[in-house]
Amino acid sequence: MRNPAAALLDLILPSFCSVCRAPGDALCEACRGRLARIEGPACDRCGAPTAWPVERCRECAGRRIPFATARAAVVYDDAARSLVADWKDRGLRSLAGLAAELVSEVVARPGAYTIVFVPSDPVRRLTRGYNPAERLAVTLGERWQLPVVPLLARSAGVGPQRGLPLAERRRNVRGVFQATRAAPKELVLVDDVYTSGATVSAAASALRKAGARRVEVVTFARAVR
Ligand SMILES: [Zn+2]
Ligand SMILES: [Zn+2]
């Protein structure tokens, strides 16, 4: 949620493009155009771009995946990475709005009626003052006219996923999320970035345990191998 100090910071900080650093908007028109939309054929399940449409790609074949689908707006490349970094670390709220705009441009409105978001680590939430995934969820909720419900809690003290190999990422987040009450049958789960899928999988598992039958994951960006 927007607090007065953050609103003041937005006003006094010099405004420049998060990607190319040109003075002006938080994302200039040229860089916005250059962000690589994920629009071609993709894995039906995890949303990884593929040469032709497949039900399951190599990334997710033979694995138990707790979510039904995962979709993202843009490839998590260097441009998207600097945008997300500014969004998270400089706390630029205008970027959450831009991210939501790009998501609704690229990703079809989900079939589920309720949006939940991946909670951030309680300690990092304190230092940052807000949760980027929650901000994206709220903005998407406004666009899609869907209610956003806080349904997940996250245990403190789990190290960041950044830089960990895949197996450790999965171990790192296992059991980290708990549903705070019974979940609706169908849900949209929002996070900022899909990297290995480990975080959204752990969150989706917690929702499934709480009664959800179908979880559709939506993120702003997605790592593409
Ligand atoms: Zn730019
Ligand atoms: Zn896949």
φ/ψ region of 127 (left if φ > 0, alpha if ψ in -120 to 50, else beta) reads alpha
Please tell me the number of Cα atoms within 13 Å of 135 on its side-chain side: 24
**Which two three-digit tokens encode residue 106?**
């690229």
Q: Which ligand is nearest to the CA of 217?
A: 2
**Gap from CA of 55 to ligand 2 centroid (Å):** 7
What is the distance in A from the centroid of ligand 1 to the CA of 77?
A: 14
Nearest residue to 221 via CA among 188, 187, 198, 190 = 190
pLDDT digits (tens, 9 = 90+) for 44-77: 999 999 999 999 998 888 889 999 999 999 999 9
Closest ligand by atom to 86 CA:
1
What is the mean pLDDT of the segment spanning 24-40? 93
CA end-to-end span of the chain, whole Å? Answer: 34
Beta carbons within 8 Å of 116's beta carbon, 6+ residues apart: 137, 148, 149, 150, 151, 152, 183, 187, 188, 189, 190, 207
Q: What is the pTM of this model?
A: 0.89
pLDDT in tens, 148-203: 999 999 987 666 677 777 777 777 777 899 999 999 999 999 999 999 899 999 99
